[in-house]
Amino acid sequence: MDDFKEKLTRYRNCVNDALEEAIPENGEEAVSAMRYSVFAGGKRIRAALVLAFCELFGGNIERALPFACAIEMIHTYSLIYDDLPCMDNDTLRRGKPTNHVVFGESTALMAGAGLYARAFETVIQSELLSDAQKLSGISVLLDASGINGIITGQMLDLKNRPGLSENEVMRIHKLKTSAMIEAAAVLGCVASDCGSAEKEKARRYAENIGLAFQIKDDILDVAGSTAELGKTVGKDKTEMKTTFVDILGVESSQKQVEALSESAKKEISDIKGSEFLCSLADYLAYRKS
């Protein structure tokens, strides 16, 4: 576990340095707002997935860094929009006031849009990725963040009400959360230029941990504390959203998380060097925040 934490820290530092270069402070308010949310202390799980899969399949992580930055920027953009008054109307995120609370709604809107644009620019400006890798990576990012991913997930989640079936809740989470986690794993594969069998293993691993990640979020929303999570707990209940916990209860939900984590590990455990990604699956399944 110490090796795991050390490697996670190394990945985090790498991506934080690269993000610092990709979004330098320039005195513009929209840029300050972009930086505020990008550097608000996210876990960088998506970036770590990009870098770890690139390394697992023999790629150079320098080449994967623009993808890692891009996915963190797009993830941050989706959180800024998710928190807006017309969406979930959240005031706390990662223990800090949300973007629109600090900068106002119009700046938050522009900061989100700015991050989305900057994500793709960061990929295009890479000097290590080939044209084909850039286009393939941008495609993966667009698919996960556009109408086939986050956007439809958000639309469905806005209509999430008590009484949804397990399949309906699953579909929301797949689109809203897992799509980007799968994208992260696939981006690592694109950067490593691995074969399609490897890419499919990575995608299935990520599909499993993506769903586990979201069910764990639902568990923490009822069982965690605001102090540990850095965001308002019990929100799903207040907002009358159906969660996995409503359908399965806390205990079965946790069992489901652990089963998904095991399935994820099985996809890759026979590959040399997969220890970090196996530990990551456990880390997400047993996390407290």
Partners of 97 in beta bridges: 92
Residue 93: φ, ψ to 5°: -150, 130
**Spatial distance between the Cα atoms of 237 and 221, rounded to a whole number of angstroms:** 9
Q: Which is nearer to a copy of itself, 116 or 205 (CB)?
A: 116
Q: Does 114 bind a copy of itself (CB under 8 A)?
A: yes
3-state secondary structure of 93: strand
Q: Which residue has the tokens 């965001």?
A: 231
Which segment (45-53, 56-64, 113-121, 192-200) binds a copy of itself by CB under 8 A? Answer: 113-121
Which segment (28-36, 39-47, 56-64, 176-184) binds a copy of itself by CB under 8 A? Answer: 28-36
| Angle at CA of residue 263, ends 261 and 265, nearest 5° | 70
**Spatial distance between the Cα atoms of 169 and 160, rounded to a whole number of angstroms:** 8
Contact 99, 111 (CB under 8 A): yes
Q: Which is nearer to a copy of itself, 136 or 214 (CB)?
A: 136
Q: Does 107 bind a copy of itself (CB under 8 A)?
A: yes
Q: Which is nearer to a copy of itself, 30 or 229 (CB)?
A: 30
| Angle at CA of residue 279, ends 9 and 95, nearest 5° | 50
Q: Which residue has the tokens 């997400």?
A: 284
Contact 167, 101 (CB under 8 A): no
Which segment (80-88, 180-188, 196-204, 222-230) binds a copy of itself by CB under 8 A? Answer: 80-88
The CB-of-189 to a copy of itself minimum distance in angstroms stands at 18
Output the six-digit token pair for 280.
């990551």
Q: Which is nearer to a copy of itself, 106 or 289 (CB)?
A: 106
Q: Does 63 bind a copy of itself (CB under 8 A)?
A: no
Q: Does 121 bind a copy of itself (CB under 8 A)?
A: yes
Output the six-digit token pair for 253.
């939900």
Output the six-digit token pair for 139.
């495609």
Which segment (27-35, 170-178, 217-225, 249-257) binds a copy of itself by CB under 8 A? Answer: 27-35
Q: Does 142 bind a copy of itself (CB under 8 A)?
A: yes
Q: Does 169 bind a copy of itself (CB under 8 A)?
A: no
* Pairing between β-strand 92-93 and β-strand 96-97 as defined by DSSP bridges: antiparallel
Q: Which is nearer to a copy of itself, 141 or 189 (CB)?
A: 141
**Spatial distance between the Cα atoms of 235 and 266, rounded to a whole number of angstroms:** 34
Q: Which is nearer to a copy of itself, 138 or 189 (CB)?
A: 138
Q: Which is nearer to a copy of itself, 116 or 283 (CB)?
A: 116
Find the binder of a copy of itself among 11, 53, 57, 116 (CB under 8 A).
116
Q: Does 158 bind a copy of itself (CB under 8 A)?
A: yes
Residue 92: φ, ψ to 5°: -130, 135
Find the binder of a copy of itself among 101, 102, 135, 170 (CB under 8 A).
135
Output the six-digit token pair for 82.
């998710």
Contacting residues toward a copy of itself, per CB under 8 A: 28-31, 81, 84, 86-87, 104-107, 109-110, 113-114, 116-118, 120-121, 124, 131-132, 134-135, 138-139, 142-143, 145-147, 151-152, 154-155, 158
